[in-house]
């Protein structure tokens, strides 16, 4: 499955307030998931194997590392089998593993993730998802609506992936 989205990630400690706001907007609480993302070394973009109680996927994505809302193109293989997982782990170099607790809300075509990432802290992600032919302005407006609604400060926006942040943190030690 191929998807296009406009997304932001930000440090965000007030998950309790976000829950109240999302409930008032009638956002659909989906579930809490405990995820392990294994990132592999690749030439371009990022490749991760997500394993969890609910969502298991192989995800390749390419996106700019910038703080502002950014376009992301992804190819997702849902429920990869045991053979594929073992093939990846045995043939590719593992870059890093990320463990997180993710609380997922959906409002129409927007996903909001309240994340607690091991060794990094609390974050929020807003992803306005669309098809290839959906105008980017439409997706950007959806994303910006939730940025404003949830009072996500621009200075807290994060440009990198969790893998980049954790690698950077481990280098600084």
pLDDT one-digit tens code per residue, 44-82: 999 999 999 988 999 998 887 888 888 887 888 898 888
* 5, 71 Cβ separation under 8 angstroms: yes
Confidence (pLDDT) at 7: 92
Q: Measure CA 120 to chain center.
A: 14
* 101, 32 Cβ separation under 8 angstroms: yes
Confidence (pLDDT) at 102: 97
* 98, 118 Cβ separation under 8 angstroms: yes
Confidence (pLDDT) at 173: 65
- Alpha helix (H) residue ranges in 6-153: 15-24, 82-91, 136-149
Instruction: For residue 147, give the H/E element and its range.
Output: helix 136-149
Which residue segments constitute the domains of the chain, with CATH numbers given?
A: 2-172 (2.40.320.10)
Spatial CA neighbour of 124 closest among 163, 157, 164, 169: 157
Instruction: List the chain residues with pLDDT less than 70.
Output: 1-2, 173
Backbone phi and psi for residue 62, each to the nearest 5 degrees, phi listed first = -135, 125
Residues pairing with 122 in the sheet: 116
Q: Measure CA 157 to chain center.
A: 13
């Amino acid at each position: 499955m191929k998807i296009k989205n406009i997304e932001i990630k930000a440090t965000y400690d007030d998950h309790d307030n976000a829950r109240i706001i999302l409930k008032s907007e009638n956002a659909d609480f989906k579930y809490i998931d405990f995820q392990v993302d294994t990132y592999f070394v690749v030439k371009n973009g990022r490749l991760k194997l997500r394993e969890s109680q609910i969502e298991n996927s192989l995800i390749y994505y390419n996106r700019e590392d910038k703080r502002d809302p950014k376009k992301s193109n992804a190819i997702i293989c849902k429920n990869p089998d045991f053979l594929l997982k073992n093939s990846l782990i045995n043939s590719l170099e593992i870059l890093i593993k990320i463990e997180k607790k993710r609380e997922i809300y959906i409002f129409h075509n927007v996903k909001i993730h309240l994340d607690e990432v091991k060794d990094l802290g609390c974050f929020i992600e807003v992803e306005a998802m669309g098809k290839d032919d959906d105008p980017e302005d439409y997706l950007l407006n959806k994303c910006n609506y939730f940025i404003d609604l949830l009072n996500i400060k621009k200075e807290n926006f994060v440009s990198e992936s969790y893998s980049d942040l954790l690698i950077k943190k481990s280098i600084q030690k």
